[in-house]
């Protein structure tokens, strides 16, 4: 068994670009920052792939679908020996979301997460976050509920354009 070179690994990374979050279909698993590692080994002329992923929220039901979709897309590209490993630590953070991913989110109408260091900390009543409205770009917005349509989102409303919107809350 030998560990395989960069080009094979790069190929897997580009295949994984095709796998999207089932709840937020504009984001790929790479945009989300949940792919922690890709390893390719070769035994008997056959490449074995290991994809290491980390869950977003502990209870996120999308994770099972994502795991299955990763397997499916690799099968479609003729990989047979596939292993998907889940790691919990270091815990996923919205800071791992790519800049491209954040732009896609905003274009989709979901406010992208603020940087974790700014406001999201374990201090109970930290300063209220200034969340930008994805529609009119105003920062004059208010939180309606800490919890939204999926585990990763909160519900906000813009005081200027009055549109309610989802905020991908920082984690």
Partner 1 sequence: MTKETLYNYTLHLADNALILAQRNSEWCGHGPVLEQDIAITNISLDLIGQARSLYQYAAELKNENSGTGAVTEDSLAYLRDVRAYKNCLLVEQPNGDWAQTILRQFFFSTYQFLLYQQLQKSTDITLAAIAEKSLKEVTYHVRWSSEWVIRLGDGTQESHDRLENALDELWMFTGEFFTPVGYEQEAVNAGFGVDVSTLKVEWEQRVNEIFAEATLPESAAAGREGAWMQVGGKEGVHTEQLGFILAEMQYMQRAYPGAEW
User: Is residue 130 a contact residue for partner 1 (CB under 8 A)?
Assistant: no
Asked whether the beta carbons of 68 and 86 are under 8 A apart, the reply is no
Q: Of 42 and 143, which has the nearer Cβ to partner 1?
A: 143
Nearest distance from C-beta of residue 8 to partner 1, angstroms: 29
CA dihedral over 140, 146, 147, 152, signed as positive or negative: positive
155 touches partner 1 (CB under 8 A): yes
C-alpha angle 45-47-12 in degrees, rounded to nearest 5:
145
Calculate the alpha carbon distances from 17 to 28, 38, 164 in Å: 6, 13, 30
The piece of 12-20, 74-82, 130-138, 146-154 that touches partner 1 (CB under 8 A) is 146-154
Provide, rounded to whole angstroms, the least separation between the CB of residue 167 and partner 1: 13
Which residues are near partner 1 by CB under 8 A?
55, 57-61, 87-93, 122, 124-125, 144-149, 151, 155, 169, 171
């Amino acid at each position: 068994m030998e560990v395989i070179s960069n080009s094979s690994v790069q190929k897997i990374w580009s295949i994984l670009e095709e796998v999207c979050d089932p709840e937020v279909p504009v984001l790929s698993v790479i945009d989300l920052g949940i792919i922690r590692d890709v390893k390719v080994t070769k035994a008997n002329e056959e490449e074995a792939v290991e994809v290491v992923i980390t869950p977003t929220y502990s209870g996120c039901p999308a994770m099972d679908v994502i795991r299955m979709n990763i397997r499916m897309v690799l099968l479609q590209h003729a990989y047979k020996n596939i292993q998907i490993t889940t790691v919990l630590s270091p815990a996923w953070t919205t800071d791992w979301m790519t800049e491209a991913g954040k732009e896609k989110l905003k274009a989709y109408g979901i406010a992208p997460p603020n940087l974790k260091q700014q406001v999201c900390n374990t201090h109970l009543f930290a300063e209220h976050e200034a969340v930008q409205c994805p529609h009119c770009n105003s920062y004059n917005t208010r939180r309606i509920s800490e919890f939204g349509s999926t585990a990763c989102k909160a519900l906000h409303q813009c005081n200027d354009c009055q549109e309610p919107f989802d905020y991908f809350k920082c984690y």
